[in-house]
Amino acid sequence: MMMIYKQLGVNSGRIFGFEIDTAHFNGNHAPEVTVQALFTSPTSPPPTATDPRWSTILPIQECGPSQRHVYLLPSPTTETYSHVKLNMIPDGGIARFRVYGQAVPVFSDDAEEILDTAHVSNGGLVVSCSDQHFGRKDNLLQPGRGRDMGDGWETKRSREKGHVDWVVVKLGAPTKVTSITIDTAHFRGNFPQYVTIHGLFHPDTTITPSHSDTNWFKILEPAKCKPDLEHHFGLPGQDVYMPTNGVGGKDVRNGVEEVAKLEDVGEEVVTHVKMTIIPDGGVSRLRVYGRRVV
């Protein structure tokens, strides 16, 4: 039996299923596979191949030559995992191995740490949008700046007077917002003219609030957007500070000119944010920085 084990792209997650692709391996593909998983904290040493904590998530499955194999688990795992191990029985070739699931963040004990709680690695999830004709809504929360326009969220053009598009994001944790970044990277002629942000607290985050819910309150008044630019918005009377790596870490001055100020929302806590673009267009990334409320 041959195997390979890898750390997931997030600190931990619940697993929904797997994709094992034997593309181009015709006659030398892996005849059978199985998948195991375990969890170890980010501060612990990485596991070894013989670690006794490996548990089988996907029992032995047959693989065919040069084809995609999708294995959906009967239900998402209740446990969270940080590493997966793919076993080939007895050996052979596999082109791609993908793990599908939901990120479950592992936060530090520092309650004052500033985090981007919208970031996919911190459990952020885009739960609804008005339109995603040219670019998927989920791109908004991905790491880094977008590679191109296709790596952002972009809606179709509208000629209807008063038209707006919107997207709703569930944050990875209840948050007191300290600053927001809206990045129009690569969108030079099709960026929104204006953008506004609303927040909402919902006690049950398994429920997706409607974009027209009357409990949304304004965090950012409509602000003028510019092409291909990171727009930073901080609280009144404060400089804009951002974590060094966009996910979490020591605060540093970003060094980019601030576009506008957020509303003074006091001690308001939000579980969801809604970004509205006026009238339509493309946005590469949305970052919502703040302190978690435990």
Structure tokens at 69: 């194999």
Task: Say what the pLDDT of residue 109 is.
Answer: 86
Select the CATH number that applies to the domain covering 2-103 from these four: 2.30.60.10, 2.60.120.260, 3.40.50.620, 2.40.50.100. Answer: 2.60.120.260
| Rounded Cα–Cα distance for residues 105 and 103 (Å) | 6
Task: Say what the pLDDT of residue 108 is.
Answer: 87
Q: What is the pLDDT of residues 144-158, one digit of tens each?
A: 999 999 999 999 999
Which segments of the chain have a pLDDT < 70? 239-259
Task: Say what the pLDDT of residue 248 is.
Answer: 43
Task: Say what the pLDDT of residue 239 is.
Answer: 64
Task: Say what the pLDDT of residue 39 is.
Answer: 97
C-alpha separations of 258 from 73, 237, 239, 251, 254 in Å: 46, 12, 8, 16, 10
Among 154, 108, 104, 98, residue whose Cα is nearest residue 130: 154
Task: Say what the pLDDT of residue 254 is.
Answer: 40
Q: What angle do CA 17, 20, 21 make, to 5 degrees?
A: 145
Residue 97 C-alpha from the chain's centroid: 20
**Spans of all domains in the chain:** 2-103, 114-292
Q: What is the pLDDT of residues 266-277, one digit of tens each?
A: 889 999 999 999
Q: What is the pLDDT of residues 12-34, one digit of tens each?
A: 999 999 999 999 999 999 999 99
pTM: 0.85
Task: Say what the pLDDT of residue 43 is.
Answer: 87
Domain covering 114-292: architecture: Sandwich (2.60)
Task: Say what the pLDDT of residue 252 is.
Answer: 35
Q: Edge-to-edge strands of the sheet including 96-103?
A: 68-72, 13-21, 96-103
Same fold, 2-103 and 114-292: yes
Task: Say what the pLDDT of residue 240 is.
Answer: 61
Interacting residues of 77 by C-beta distance below 8 A, sequence separation 6+: 14, 15, 37, 57, 101
Among 202, 239, 187, 195, residue whose Cα is nearest residue 218: 195
Task: Say what the pLDDT of residue 137 is.
Answer: 98
Task: Say what the pLDDT of residue 242 is.
Answer: 56
Task: Say what the pLDDT of residue 243 is.
Answer: 53
Q: What is the pLDDT of residues 188-215, one digit of tens each?
A: 999 999 999 999 999 998 899 999 999 9
